[in-house]
Each structure stands twice: as structure tokens, then as C-alpha cells.
């Protein structure tokens, strides 16, 4: 019943790769960012922090086309980033996997930062102050206090980021074109199958994505519940 | 921000492929015909790795201008590759491969007795055409409707597909009752069980279709090989089967 072509598998593989890379990069970038934003909360607001927080949340409200449009101009051969890369002898980033990866990282940023911010805030400054009096170094504090206490936040951030990247469409369509194996992720391939009137293939992939997305969200909400009852609340 | 920069620098050093595949960008009217031609080509060249991206000719032109890594561009209107050639984005002068036609098509109304000029008498709610701003088939549909003085009357009923394949899909799914689509799509087995009405070619500018090897593909041997294959009699007979009129054979 399920007959996926090599073309479909290629898109599935590409999509998983994009989701995985995006999640890893965002956990690395989002953790310090969320941490910094969380500090602002306890020591009174400052304008820069508020501005950054608004910037981080922008992808939630902006149409993906706005982001796609600007990234296309920025990363393309005539853009500031793409043009500089070309002059340095590299390739520009429009219509390439690194290009859509950058797009995904920006687009999914709030889905990493928000849950982390929330869990850092819930932890509050107290556990770290205690750790400090006990003589724990900065790295020790991160690995022995922050990571275990905010484990739930990290898991939710990672799964939400992964799931959100799975459902990305507009930015990738504009920035990536629809190049098989390079930028043609599942959502774009489904669009292409529909246009070609390959309804049965569009069905298979759509249903697959629907089930995958449900399972991921089911896990997220399940975890949320578990950690809500955890020692921190 | 700096981290992003460093990271993007690192990333673009990564993708070094062993053998460069051929990436084709093609106008959507070729969707079925070109798939067949590629299958035929791959029979003869089993090692060839070809990927295709379909879209409206205008959209593909813009993508090429912004550095899309296409090696070969099949346009539904010669004007696009001509412009790209003048700007230096494609490396070979546009080569004619076919002339397209537009048809009136509907999966639910019987159009065998209806010509385009009688369209207004028909009762329907939506007429789908491709976006005239960047899809050549949409522009030709607009010209034909204007030539018959129907544009102003029918404009409120129009819905626009992003390209000609999507326009056909809009009508096929029933979202629009009637569509003006490419003959090459109306000939596709899945769609051809519904009749179509050929629109006289004197109502619009010709759909002169041409291809060019892009600047990106200038050194890609398979781009040139595939381009030559388009002139072969096997490829031409597939195009003919899909209703394309063929230009006179290139003199060698």
C-alpha cells in the first residue's frame, strides 16, 4: 500500500537532516540567549533585552514570505552575505541546503527560546546561588544544576523546534526553490506532487507527516505534564 | 550574529560532491513531456543523474538571477532566456525547441461545442488562468481574452495559478470549473479524458519556447549533452505527442 519512490525517500532524508541540524544549532545558540533573557527578568527590565525578546518572537507573527524575501536578498549573490561569500571565493547561500538551514534556524528560534526561557525563570536564581556557595565552578553549575533542573525545558524546546522545522514551508519555498536532494523538503515535495496531480503520493506523504507531527506533539504534551509535576513546581 | 557568520562560512565548505548532477529548471507546461524525455535519456545514459524543478518561466528567471544552481533552463517564452542572456546569467543563446498552444479546458463542462468567444454565455463561477505577471501561458490567456473583448467581463471570475500546472490542478480539483491551460497538459492521459477546445493562435502572441544553458551550467558537460538530446527525433516526437508545434530542425 505504501509505495515511496526514491525521490520521496530523498525528501524524507533531507527533511530529517534539516530538522536535526536546526535543532542542534538552535539548542547551542538558544540556550545562552534564553539564559541572558531570563537574567533580565530577575534584575528588572532593560530596553535592549525587551527589544531582543521581541526580535526573537518576530517569526511567530511575520508571514514566512517576509523572512524568505529578505533572506533571499541577503544570502543571494548580490546580497550583503552572499556577495561577500562570493568575493571570498565561496558560494552564495540562496537555493542551497546551508541557506535553508539558516532560514530554519531563524524561523524556529522562538520555539527553542520560549520553553528554555520559561524553565530558566521557573528555576530562579536560588539553586545557582546555593551551588556557588558550595564552591561549584561555572561549568559545574551548568552541568550539575541547570541541565538536570531544566531537563524538561530542554526536551520540550528540542521537540518543538524539530516539529516546527518539519512543518516549515514558506521560507524554504522562497529561499530554496524546489531542488530535489538539496532544498526540496517534504512540505515542498507535497506541494509539487499536488501540482503534478500525483494525489496518491501527496496523500501518502501528507498522512505520514500528519501522524509524525501528532506523535511528536503527543510526546511534548506528555513530557510537559510529567515535568510540571516535577520538583520545581 | 558572529556565530551565525562563522557557521555559515563553515557550512559552505562542506558540500563538495563527487560528480555534479544535472539540475534542470523547466516551465510547468513541460511537466509530463520532459519527464518522459528524461526517462528516455536515462535509458541511453544510465549513469546520468538528473533532477528537475518545475515552475513558471518568470519565477525561474528570477531564481536564476538570484543565483539558483540550475544548469539548463527550459522557458515557455523565449523572452526570459533572451533577457537572461543579455544580462549574462545564461551562457548560450536561447535555442528554440517548441511552440506551445493554449486550450480552454474543463473537467465538468462540455466544451466540445464552445469556443472561447462564447465563454461568457456559459454559466460558471470561476475561470482559472496562470498568473500573467510571470507565467507566459497566463499572459497569452489574458491576450486572447482581451482580443475577444472578454477580459473586463470575465476578470471578476478569474483565479490565478502560480504556474500553468497549478492552474490545471485548480480546475481538475473542481475549485474552478473552467481553465485556460497548456495543450501539453490537456494531452496528459489523466486530463485528456475531458475534452478541450483549442484557442486560435492568432488571438495571442506565439508561445515560443526556448532553452539556454545557464552560467552555472556552462562547464557542465551533461547540460550540453541533454540540450543536444532535445533536438533528437526521439525527444521531438514526445514533444509532438504532447501537442507542441516543432520548429524547423536545427541545421548542423
Q: Percentage of chain A surpassing pLDDT 90?
A: 67
Round to whole Å and give the CA distance between A53 and A147.
22
Per CB-CB distance under 8 Å, the chain A contacts of B168 are: 197
Convert the pLDDT of each residue in B147-199 to its tens digit: 999 999 999 999 999 999 999 999 999 899 999 999 999 999 888 888 899 99
Convert the pLDDT of each residue in B183-239 to its tens digit: 999 999 888 888 899 999 999 999 999 999 999 999 999 999 999 999 999 999 999
Q: Are strands B102-105 and B196-198 parallel, antiparallel or unpaired?
A: antiparallel
For residue B38, is pLDDT > 60? yes
Round to whole Å and give the CA distance between B142 and B156.
13
| pLDDT in the model for residue B1 | 47
Q: Determine which of B11, B28, B67 to mutate to test the interface with A (most A C-beta atoms within 10 Å).
A: B67
* CB contact B7 to A (< 8 Å): yes
All residues at 6 or more sequence positions from A139 whose CB lies less than 8 Å from its CB, including other chains: none
This complex has an ipTM of 0.80
Convert the pLDDT of each residue in B98-153 to its tens digit: 999 999 999 888 888 888 888 888 889 999 999 999 999 999 999 999 999 999 99
| pLDDT in the model for residue B189 | 84
Q: Count of CB atoms within 10 A of residue B87's CB?
A: 12
Mean pLDDT of chain B, nearest integer: 90
Rounded to the nearest 10 degrees, how much is the dihedral formed by the CA atoms of B44, B46, B47, B50? 80
Per CB-CB distance under 8 Å, the chain A contacts of B63 are: 95, 177
* 3-class secondary structure, B171: helix
CB contact under 8 A, B15 and A77: no
Amino acid at each position: 500500500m505504501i509505495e515511496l519512490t526514491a525521490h520521496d525517500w530523498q525528501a524524507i532524508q533531507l527533511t530529517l537532516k534539516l530538522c536535526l541540524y536546526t535543532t542542534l544549532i538552535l539548542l547551542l545558540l538558544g540556550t545562552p540567549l534564553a539564559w541572558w533573557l531570563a537574567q533580565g527578568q530577575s534584575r528588572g527590565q532593560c530596553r535592549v533585552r525587551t527589544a531582543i525578546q521581541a526580535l526573537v518572537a518576530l517569526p511567530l507573527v511575520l508571514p514566512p514570505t517576509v523572512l524568505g524575501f529578505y533572506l533571499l536578498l541577503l544570502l543571494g549573490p548580490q546580497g550583503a552575505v552572499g556577495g561577500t561569500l562570493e568575493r571570498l571565493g565561496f558560494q552564495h547561500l540562496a537555493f542551497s541546503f546551508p541557506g535553508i538551514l539558516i532560514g530554519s534556524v531563524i524561523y524556529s528560534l522562538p520555539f527553542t527560546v520560549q520553553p528554555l526561557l520559561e524553565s530558566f525563570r521557573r528555576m530562579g536564581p536560588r539553586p545557582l546561588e546555593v551551588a556557588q556557595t558550595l564552591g561549584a565552578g561555572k561549568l559545574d553549575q551548568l552541568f550539575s544544576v541547570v541541565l538536570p533542573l531544566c531537563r524538561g525545558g530542554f526536551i520540550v524546546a528540542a521537540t518543538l523546534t524539530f516539529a516546527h522545522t518539519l512543518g516549515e514551508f514558506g521560507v524554504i519555498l522562497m529561499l530554496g526553490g524546489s531542488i530535489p536532494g538539496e532544498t526540496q523538503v517534504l512540505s515542498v515535495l507535497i506541494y509539487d506532487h499536488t501540482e503534478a496531480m500525483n494525489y496518491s503520493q501527496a496523500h501518502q506523504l501528507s498522512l505520514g507527516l500528519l501522524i509524525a507531527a501528532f506523535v511528536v506533539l503527543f510526546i511534548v504534551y506528555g513530557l510537559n505534564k510529567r515535568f510540571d509535576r516535577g520538583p520545581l513546581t | 550574529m558572529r556565530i551565525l557568520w562563522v557557521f555559515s562560512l563553515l557550512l559552505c565548505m562542506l558540500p563538495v560532491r563527487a560528480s555534479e548532477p544535472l539540475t534542470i529548471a523547466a516551465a510547468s507546461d513541460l511537466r509530463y513531456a520532459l519527464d518522459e524525455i528524461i526517462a528516455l535519456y536515462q535509458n541511453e545514459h544510465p549513469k546520468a543523474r538528473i533532477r528537475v524543478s518545475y515552475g513558471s518561466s518568470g519565477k525561474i528567471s528570477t531564481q536564476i538571477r538570484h543565483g539558483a544552481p540550475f544548469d539548463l533552463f527550459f522557458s515557455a517564452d523565449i523572452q526570459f532566456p533572451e533577457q537572461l542572456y543579455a544580462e549574462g546569467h545564461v551562457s548560450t543563446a536561447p535555442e528554440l525547441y517548441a511552440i506551445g498552444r493554449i486550450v480552454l479546458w474543463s473537467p465538468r463542462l462540455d466544451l466540445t461545442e464552445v469556443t472561447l468567444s462564447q465563454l461568457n454565455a456559459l454559466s460558471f463561477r470561476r475561470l482559472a488562468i496562470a498568473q500573467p505577471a510571470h507565467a507566459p501561458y497566463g499572459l497569452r490567456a489574458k491576450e486572447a481574452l482581451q482580443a475577444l473583448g472578454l477580459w473586463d467581463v470575465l476578470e471578476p471570475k478569474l483565479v490565478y495559478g502560480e504556474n500553468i500546472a497549478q492552474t490545471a490542478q485548480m480546475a481538475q480539483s473542481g475549485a474552478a470549473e473552467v481553465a485556460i491551460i497548456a495543450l501539453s497538459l490537456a494531452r496528459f492521459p489523466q486530463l485528456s479524458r475531458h475534452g478541450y477546445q483549442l484557442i486560435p493562435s492568432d488571438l495571442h502572441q506565439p508561445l515560443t519556447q526556448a532553452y539556454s544553458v545557464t552560467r552555472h551550467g556552462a562547464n557542465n558537460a551533461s547540460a550540453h549533452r541533454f540540450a543536444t538530446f532535445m533536438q533528437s527525433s526521439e525527444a521531438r516526437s514526445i514533444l509532438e505527442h504532447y501537442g507542441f508545434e516543432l520548429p524547423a530542425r536545427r541545421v548542423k
